[in-house]
Structure 1
Amino acid sequence: MRYGMNFSRQPTLVQFLKSRKIDTVLDVGANTGQFARSLRLSGYAGRIVSFEPTSRVFGLLQSQASSDAGWSVRKEAVGDEAGSLEINIARASELSSLAPFSGRADMFGRATEVIGTESVTVVRLDDVLPELPGENFFLKLDIQGYEKRALEGARKTLKTLAGVQLELPIVHLYDGGWTFGEAINYMDESGFHISQISPTNYIIGDEASATEFDVVFRRSE
């Protein structure tokens, strides 16, 4: 007897994209393009638009995308108001953020050390989306404690998306961020339910315990 469950395989993000006929992925917080490259290696052949605000890392991202005609890059941060802000540049570039580090960030050692700041351009997704080609969009947000602010600038965009991936914390590395539960409630109120959850970073010295999860949300039926 079948109950609509299959325990023999684990669903993947690319399966999700294919099942929703996603033709454009918005890769917000691209860093050097790790997420986009993983999509390509997993078989996603659609359009990717990557956002990365800091100059040095953007140069590396631009180089990665240069040979892929379906992958465009934008030197912008994403938030709730268009303008410019100072970003804290961490020694580990993927931890750089518009939000300040919390006291808990020390658990990552020198990786969270702020080695500089940079004034970056900030855009709202609601302003950007009309400029972009595509019909079925998926949004990935990995912007280190600034996800809620980005979604506040994407109220209209959320209504058009087939799915969203957020990096959500259990341990808060940044001040002013939301809790895991607050994020789930926000997405539920925006019309999305959880589809997939995967642990990402782990507590140093306790690798059996995750600090963050990548959570994929599907639009509610």
Structure 2
Amino acid sequence: MSLKRQAANLLERMSGNLIIPAHELHLLPERLHLRRLFDYLDIDCVFDVGANAGQYATMLREQVGYRGPIISFEPIPELAASLRERAAQDPDWHIEAMALDREAGTATFHVMRENEFSSLRRPAGNQPGTFAAANDIVRDIQVERSTVQAQMQRWQTQLGFKRPFLKMDTQGNDLAVMEGAGDSLAAFAGLQTELAILRLYDGSADFAATLSACQDKGFVVSAFVPNNEGKFPVLVEIDCILINKALAPADVQIGTGAAH
């Protein structure tokens, strides 16, 4: 954690106010909701699928206050190496240089001009022009793939967690990641997925299909939160945070018919 953030955290505790850089204001709803939700769900492990440069794990440590294990999955070798260097100072941050998908095995991974867009899927030919320069393949690499189900078995044995949380940011492949979880998905207390209002990748699921799949698999919506500054005035994508239906408050009747 940076000295600046440490000082800000101290001032926040003393004043009761939040100190947020102007360029991060759009991220505040996510941070506040996760802070409250992680406490409510008693989260004790986070699967960070599609870690990129470690933005999500850093946010959990510095803004959410989560101190438990984080397992970050990142297939781009140089990014995974950089994450390992950073995680050397955090014994509860584990790095896996792999992609999670519907099935295990090697696959071609597309590294984009802006690496945050990198994906197992190719960019859509009809994507909005504003993304064309950034979401453009600069090289293809071969990566190892695993599944949430396999990794859940491995890490649960090692860490002994009981209330894991699944975060996915795989650029068009979140639904495949969930399908690769199989029955193990029910063991997650909550999950966070990116919903594509405009699809940027070939064969990717749109927001309605992804949300419907989450609900079919036993999760209910907790919040919709921005994950970037967006492309005003059009909504391109948004993150959805869900909780396991079994952990929803008892006084909220879910799936019992229309409200009166």
2:77 matches 1:55: yes
Matches within 5 A, 1:127-206: 127-132=150-155, 133=159, 134-201=161-228, 204=231
Partners of 2:233 and 2:34 lie apart in 1 by 23
Partners of 1:99 and 1:172 lie apart in 2 by 11
SS state at 1:36 partner:
helix
The corresponding residue for 1:211 is 236
Letter in 2 for 1:190: K
Letter in 2 for 1:138: F
The corresponding residue for 1:74 is 96
Flag the structure with larger Rg: 2
The corresponding residue for 2:33 is 12
2:146 matches 1:119: no
Q: Please say if residues 192 and 219 of structure 1, whose CA atoms lie closer than 8 Å, have aligned partners that are also in contact.
A: yes
Matches within 5 A, 1:37-56: 37-42=58-63, 43-56=65-78
Q: Please say if residues 186 and 244 of structure 2, whose CA atoms lie closer than 8 Å, have aligned partners that are also in contact.
A: no
Q: Between Structure 1 and Structure 2, how many residues are aligned?
A: 211
User: Which has a greater percent of strand?
Assistant: 1
Structure 1 position 202, deviation (Å): 5.5
Change (3 A) 1:214 1:203: closer
SS state at 1:183 partner:
helix
User: Which has a greater percent of helix?
Assistant: 2
Q: Please say if residues 87 and 94 of structure 2, whose CA atoms lie closer than 8 Å, have aligned partners that are also in contact.
A: yes
Give deviations 1:22-48, integer Å, cap 9, x for gaps.
110000000010000000012111110
Q: What is the TM-score of this pair, normalised by structure 2? A: 0.78
Structure 1 position 200, deviation (Å): 2.5
Partners of 1:201 and 1:22 lie apart in 2 by 24
Change (3 A) 1:159 1:182: same
Partners of 1:98 and 1:89 lie apart in 2 by 9
Letter in 2 for 1:213: I
What is the root-mean-square deviation of aligned Cα atoms in Å? 1.6
Q: Please say if residues 50 and 73 of structure 1, whose CA atoms lie closer than 8 Å, have aligned partners that are also in contact.
A: yes
Letter in 2 for 1:131: R
Letter in 1 for 2:56: F
Which sections of structure 2, spanning at least 5 residues, go unmatched? 1-27, 247-260
Q: Please say if residues 142 and 166 of structure 1, whose CA atoms lie closer than 8 Å, have aligned partners that are also in contact.
A: yes
Which sections of structure 1, spanning at least 5 residues, go unmatched? 1-8
Partners of 2:36 and 2:87 lie apart in 1 by 23
Q: Please say if residues 22 and 162 of structure 1, whose CA atoms lie closer than 8 Å, have aligned partners that are also in contact.
A: yes
Q: What is the TM-score of this pair, normalised by structure 1? A: 0.91
Partners of 2:77 and 2:129 lie apart in 1 by 26
Q: Please say if residues 168 and 212 of structure 1, whose CA atoms lie closer than 8 Å, have aligned partners that are also in contact.
A: yes
The corresponding residue for 1:36 is 57
Identical-residue share of aligned pairs (%): 31
Partners of 2:111 and 2:138 lie apart in 1 by 6
